[in-house]
Amino acid sequence: MLAILMPGLERDQDRQLRLAAFRAALAKLGWSEGNNLRIEIRWGGEDAALFARHAAELVALRPDVLLCDGSAALDALRRQTQTAPIVFVTVGDPVGQSFVQSLARPGGNITGFSAMDTSVAEKWLEMLAQIVPAVKNVAVLYNPGAPLAQLMIQSVEKAAQAFGISVRMVSVDNVAGIEAVTADLAREQLGGMVVLPDAFTVSHRAVIIELAARYRIPTVYSFPYFATDGGLMSYGVNVIDLHRRSAAYVDRILKGDKPGDLPVQRPIKFDLVINLKTAKTLGITIAPALLAAADEVIE
């Protein structure tokens, strides 16, 4: 039996796409739900108490392997079992968060697919410099409670030095804070904004996108759905690919491999999405070379 703990809600289209990619890859490996495999899924929203309850339910079912998406789900499962095999997906820093001993040799009962690659910070600033050549001041919006906040901040600061850009780190953990930041940045000349990935910024993306448009601030995001929802552009790890790849580890564990012997995998596929409609609204001309490099252009 395979037990799955997912963040978000069951009706979330992006989460369903992730599951669909995983299931399709698992089917290619010979596993058929209702035939040779039983699958139990629980949805935790963004509620720690709900994650804890569902994690306990799933572990009590004594599954052969557990699959989870994100740090909150993994933490909830880890608190319930130190023996049942767990495969995680889209966990940022599994070593730094003490989920595994090392990437090469995870040890214990946990392994999976990390979503962390600090090189994306350089790409975010490079993209801003391309679309707004005179950009000198960039605000970096982040949630101070995010597990990877400090690691990502260090990466952005290092990249900013290479581009001669001044970055101002702005922590927000409420909607009012988001509006205050964007309104303040709008008063500055040559501004741009980078939104760091986190459950808070993801769940409040509609507000962030709307404010960036209202104050006409060129903004770069990390996940494609920011751009498809109206954000200017996004560049980041292809999480669908991570879920697709995770099927191979579930398959190996079901066939007898131990998770502690399977190295944690890094992301290998990244997506650039440009919303050309938003660019036109902001009066920004996207260079042909950047458009040609995009995995998706929204018109």
State the Cα–Cα distance between residues 115 and 123, nearest whole angstrom: 16
Contact 58, 5 (CB under 8 A): yes
- Which pTM value belongs to this model? 0.87
Helical ranges in 196-261 per DSSP H: 199-203, 205-214, 224-228, 239-254
pLDDT at 66: 98
**What is the 8-class DSSP label of residue 287?**
P
**pLDDT tens digit sequence for 148-181:** 788 888 889 988 988 888 899 999 988 888 988 8
Angle between helix 205-214 and helix 175-186 axes, rounded to 10 deg: 20
User: Which two structure tokens, joined as six digits, stand for 122?
Assistant: 């350089």
Strands (E), 79-223: 86-91, 110-114, 137-142, 166-171, 191-195, 219-221
Walk me through the domains of the chain, giving residue ranges and CATH numbers: 2-116+238-269 (3.40.50.2300), 120-237+271-298 (3.40.50.2300)
User: In this predicted model, what pLDDT tens digit does every residue of 223-253 receive, in sequence order?
Assistant: 898 999 999 999 999 999 999 999 999 999 9
Calculate the alpha carbon distances from 292 to 152, 185, 274, 298, 299 in Å.
27, 30, 10, 13, 14
Taking only Cα atoms into account, the Rg of the chain, rounded to an integer number of angstroms, comes to: 20
